[in-house]
Amino acid sequence: MSSIQNIPNLAINLLNTKTCVILLFIAVNLIVARNCWVRNPKTIYDSGAHLRYYRVLALKKRLPKDRKESLGYFYPPAPYYLPALLMRALNNSGVDQELNEQITFRFAVFQCLIASAIALFFLIKLCLLILPGNYFSASIAILLLGMTSTYYKAFSMLRGEPLLLMFTVVAAYLFARVCSMRGLTKKQIYGWIGLSLSLALAVLSRHFGLVSIIAIACTTLIYAKHNSENHLLREKIVAPLATCILALCLSLWFFVGISDQGGLSAFNRQGTDWSDVLFSQGIGFYSLEKFPLVFSYPFRSSFSNQLFPQFYADYWGDIWGYFLVSRRKLPPVNFMNYLGTVNAIGLSVIGLFIFVIFKFIAKTFKSGLRATNPILVYNFLVFIGTFSMYYLYLLKFPNYGKGDTLKSIYPISGLPSLVVLTVYTINSMSDRWKQVIAIVIPAIFMFNIGTYFLLI
């Protein structure tokens, strides 16, 4: 009996080791590597649009001008730059066009694996910077980020989200790092410069990267007003604001270049007028009527432009048939039942996230911003800002039939910030709750393992 009672403590002790953090880091990235290896480039979502983007950038040495040259002309160039350089080099070497395209696609997918490794590495460093020596929090952070199909789905596609997530996490770490330093040293100046480059590259991966810049500016101004003693001192106002301005100068050129086609709101189809955007979605968009289908048959045929069931089912599974199941035929009922169970168990994790958000808000109002760690405020703003921008995107470009903009990978860059808030909150919980989490979170991670692997 005593040995059974010791299991929670053993779980905490195991998770609170550097070895466990390293093993989890390797495990998640091995899954990403496997998906990248077996991925058929021709089956990648919008592969044709990505290929045309590579061709224009590589052979014409410029960005696509409009949808005639690539349906993804409005995508920022960072995810395409290195593959396009490779395509140009192979073309100049006389490599056959088909082989050239295959190698370029493979390199682009491999780029996602590198992005995953860097993102998790800096997430671990961020957790250990906020909670020094607390490997338990780092382990839980990896588990929370790596327990959904959304993470592996995003890192198996030729999109900007993998690089966006990577640069967002790198920026969060660098911001926390420079804010922990006293005085304006040469090392700190290099840190601010590195932060501005990370922010700029995040924006040049996807426009959601602007959220991190806005979050840094807001955090700086908030703590300047309150004259906080939490490292963001009054003499440090200039550095972070200058960092934000530099990042904007390095990144907004792309959106200025497509300003005649919408700029930040450019898309491959007509959007709602800004004057009508708040009322573009009907009341059915917010309906929970079909939410029970999330637990029985979570596939595209079960839903039609409903925010909560579609986003939730796609977060834990693959309602659009790009990753776990085929789009061309109905998935097996037994696998749908499994995904339904995954979705049901996932309610506990979503409940934890909701608890963390409301607790953070309540604690901040009660204690005041002066007593709140500014890095936590920054991560809260990144999370809220990312999902707010995504919600605005859904209103701007509604699809009243399928709701095809309801994809969980779009706002994935806000998830690491939520994970950071969550592990910080868990650290302040009682030992009993930590024991529960040390058992439940790894158990969910293991149960969900069937949703991590790309369908061959």
Six token digits for residue 3: 């040995």
Contact (Cβ atoms closer than 8 angstroms) between residue 409 and residue 154: yes
Per-domain boundaries in the chain: 2-270+290-451
Q: Please report the pLDDT score of residue 320 as a whole number.
A: 87
Tens of pLDDT, residues 275-287: 788 888 888 899 9
Q: Please report the pLDDT score of residue 180 as a whole number.
A: 83
* Among candidate residues 152, 146, 159, the one with its CA nearest the CA of residue 120: 146
Q: Inform me whether the pLDDT recorded for 5 exceeds 70.
A: no
Q: Inform me whether the pLDDT recorded for 232 exceeds 50.
A: no
Tens of pLDDT, residues 181-217: 776 778 888 999 999 999 999 999 999 999 999 999 9
Six token digits for residue 321: 């048939």
Q: Please report the pLDDT score of residue 304 as a whole number.
A: 87
How far are the Cα atoms of 125, 367, 381, 401 from residue 222, in angstroms, in the given order? Answer: 25, 15, 12, 42
End-to-end CA distance of the chain: 45
Tens of pLDDT, residues 427-444: 999 999 999 999 999 999
How far are the Cα atoms of 54, 118, 173, 198 from residue 180, in angstroms, in the given order? Answer: 41, 22, 11, 18
Distance, in Å, from the CA atom of 417 to the CA atom of 309, rounded to the nearest integer, reads 23
Tens of pLDDT, residues 336-353: 999 999 999 999 999 999
Length, in residues, of the chain: 456
Tens of pLDDT, residues 77-104: 999 999 999 999 999 999 999 999 999 9
Six token digits for residue 126: 């961020």
Q: Inform me whether the pLDDT recorded for 228 exceeds 60.
A: no
Crossing angle for the helix pair 210-225 and 238-251, nearest 10 degrees? 160
Distance, in Å, from the CA atom of 99 to the CA atom of 302, rounded to the nearest integer, reads 40
Contact (Cβ atoms closer than 8 angstroms) between residue 91 and residue 101: no
Crossing angle for the helix pair 415-427 and 97-130, nearest 10 degrees? 30
How far are the Cα atoms of 110, 187, 260, 409 from residue 107, in angstroms, in the given order? Answer: 5, 34, 32, 21
Average pLDDT over every residue of 61-73: 88
Tens of pLDDT, residues 283-305: 889 999 999 999 998 988 888 88
* Among candidate residues 47, 35, 25, the one with its CA nearest the CA of residue 154: 35
Residues in CB range of 249: below 8 A, 6 or more apart? none
Average pLDDT, the chain: 90
* Among candidate residues 191, 62, 168, the one with its CA nearest the CA of residue 418: 168
Distance, in Å, from the CA atom of 176 to the CA atom of 124, rounded to the nearest integer, reads 13
- For the full predicted model, state whether its pTM sits above 0.85: yes
Tens of pLDDT, residues 137-158: 999 999 999 999 999 999 998 8
Q: Inform me whether the pLDDT recorded for 1 exceeds 90.
A: no
Q: Please report the pLDDT score of residue 300 as a whole number.
A: 82
Count of CA atoms in the C-beta half-sphere (13 A) of 213? 26
Residues in CB range of 125: below 8 A, 6 or more apart? 173
